[in-house]
Amino acid sequence: MPRWKKILYVLLGAVTIVALALYSWYALTRPDTCHKGVDRIGGECVGVSSDGYDFGTPEIRDVARAIAEENEKIEGQPYVTVAMMLPLQSDSPALRRQMRRDLQGAYLGQLEANEGEGEPPRIRLVLANPGQDYGHQSTVVDTLLRMADSSKDRLRAVTGFNLSLVDTQDAVKRLTEHKVPVLASRITGDQIANQDGADGMTKLQYPGLARIIPTNYEAAQALSNFNGERGRENRRTVLVYDTRPDSYDESLAKAFSGIKEKGPAGPAAMPYESPGIDKAGSSGNQFAQMANNICDSEADTVYFAGRTLHLRIFALKLAQMVCENRHYTIISGSDAASLREDMSAKDWAQLRGDEGGQAKVTVQYAAPAHPAAWSTELAAWRKKWDATHDREPTADELPQYLTEPKAALDSLNKLIRTTRDKGTDLGSTPDLLDSRTMLVYDGLVTIGTALHQVQSGGAEKVPGLEDVGREWPQLQSRHRVQGTSGLICLTSGGNPYDKPVAVVELDPGRKGLGKLKFVGLGWPTGREQPKNCVIPSRTP
């Protein structure tokens, strides 16, 4: 064989070996993908999708496809991208149904925001799964930041955020540090909020962050104002709180501890430690001991700072105690809105008690919204009006803080019917009772309002990132957002001013399955929002 052939064969062999090595390295190190733009990390499908991918969760498949169809519909029109960021996989059927209700609200809000003719920009909605408990949020935030810089994607806001956790806080912090506007529709932890200054001047910890839900502190004040003396008598109240690191639990415990009480001292606060949001661990054993101790005290009102799973176990343990037939009221935060999902007929019967002397238990919580709130409160207002007047109220005399949210809720219900009549399958008819669909819908409508108001120049010129973030504090007074959950009037810190909470109770009824019962509105300031939602000065 000629020498040149030997050299050629050696070179070809070397190239082949290098190519095989490179291919093997790539095959071993490349991400295992679940779908375009979605990687498999630790068994979870983490990433961002706009084309109807369901992240392996069948319950959201239909509504994800509906969102993709709306995205296709606005192709060719001036648009910006809004990301819906929340965990989209779970082994729990109840949690998967909650995800569906969140996305139903997002889709309906997208439709509402895209409705106006000649009102650019349109909203292209993408789904962003950060993994369980936001464990892979940094990977998703990387993608979102690239989308914010992309002239094709034009990401202009991120919403969703349904759990007040350290990883959630880190995601919000990093996005806002890179000037990406964030609208939090369902997180109540006080740690993920800008603090409004007493003199109206605000130093923003999260520039570009807006919230449309009261913080745990505000919810606790609203509950205290609603319950009056009952919840402020020291000897009759006790705090039960989870010591596991969790922003929601921590801020709720702090908020309940801050309620001003009077009278002789009551039982000392009772801590427990859970292994996780959706893990029971030995909490039942801990709660059995607490229930006995509460039974031996004068307390009949329990402030509970913990997650829904543990709230259910605690309520049932307390109901098992025979304590002179006393009735207990457990007061908790917005996470309790999911409690009804996990209650069986046996659980409801246990809360009702029986003739053998078991204690009856009522669970009361500060829901972000309830579909019966506005019609119920308006009926009560009208009854008082009719008792003191012999004429119809003028439009200016009607309670704006009730009529405008009711009109928004009526519009949402009409949109749900229209969507169903058009044959759009959302997986199920949206259930508004736990407020998820309402809050997420309000969030998308708020984003749409900000986008439309900040739009200037030609239709093709979309708003900049900072333009959108600076618009949040303008959404007040005449530019207030009529939300289904109440009037949304944002402060200089992007917080909803005096946003009401719907005080809701789990009503066991007389037999069978119980229901969620709206019992009234609670206001953080102790009174309803001012006319036209003009935010007053914070100066003392």
Paired with 182 in beta bridges are 158, 209
Mean per-residue pLDDT over the chain, rounded: 91
A 10 A CB-CB count for 284 gives 13
Could you please report the per-residue DSSP string of 186-247?
S---TTSSPPPPTTS----SSTTEEE-S--HHHHHHHHHHHHGGGGGBGGGEEEEEE-SS-H
pTM value is 0.91
Is the predicted pLDDT of residue 23 greater than 60, yes or no?
Answer: no
Region of residue 528 (left: phi > 0; alpha: psi -120 to 50; beta: else):
beta
The answer to whether 360 and 350 have CB atoms below 8 angstroms apart is: no
Residue with tokens 């990977």: 139
| Residue 351: band (very low, low, confident or very high) from pLDDT cuts 50, 70, 90 | confident
Q: In 3D, which of 155, 53, 160, 50 has the Cα closest to residue 101?
A: 160
Torsion sign (Cα): 426, 106, 507, 502 = negative
Instruction: Give the helix ranges, DSSP H, for 321-372.
Output: 345-352
Q: Name residue, tokens 């759009």.
A: 424
Read off the tokens for 70: 């709306």
Contact between 41 and 136 under an 8 Å Cβ cutoff? The reply is: yes
Beta bridge partners of 506: 363, 516
Residue 137's contacts (CB-CB under 8 Å, 6 or more residues apart) are 85, 130, 131, 167, 168, 170, 171
Instruction: Evaluate whether 306 touches 314 at the Cβ level (below 8 Å).
Output: yes
Q: Is the pLDDT of residue 25 over 90?
A: no
Residue of 311, 326, 319 lying closest to 291 (CA atoms): 319
Q: What is the mean pLDDT of residues 319-345?
A: 87
Least confident of 42-56, 333-347, 385-399, 423-437: 333-347
User: Is 477 within 8 Å of 471 (Cβ atoms)?
Assistant: no
Helix (H), strand (E) counts: the chain? 14, 17
Q: What is the mean pLDDT of residues 510-516?
A: 77
Residue 309: half-sphere exposure toward Cβ, Cα within 13 Å? 16
Edge-to-edge order in the sheet of strand 270-272:
270-272, 237-242, 301-305, 327-332, 360-367, 501-507, 515-522
Q: pLDDT by residue (tens digit) across 383-429?
A: 999 999 999 999 999 999 999 999 999 999 999 999 999 999 999 99
Query: In terms of pLDDT, which residue wins out, 504 or 457?
Result: 504
Note whether 52 and 68 are within 8 A (CB). Answer: yes
Of 104-118, 147-161, 172-186, 337-351, which range is least confident? 337-351
Q: What is the pLDDT of residue 7?
A: 72
How do 327-332 and 301-305 pair as beta strands?
parallel
Q: What is the 3-state secondary structure (H, E, C) of 251-310?
A: HHHHHHHCCCCECCCCCCCEEECCCECCECCCHHHHHHHHHHHHHCCCCCEEEEECCHHH
Q: Quick one: average pLDDT of 519-539?
A: 91
Unique residue bearing structure tokens 């996780």: 276
Owner of token pair 């859970």: 274
Given a contact cutoff of 8 angstroms between Cβ atoms, the answer to whether 293 and 148 are in contact is no
Rounded distance between C-alpha atoms, residue 499 and residue 487, angstroms:
7
In this prediction, residue 2 carries a pLDDT of 73
**How are strands ordered across the β-sheet holding 79-85?**
32-35, 38-41, 44-49, 122-129, 79-85, 155-160, 182-184, 209-211
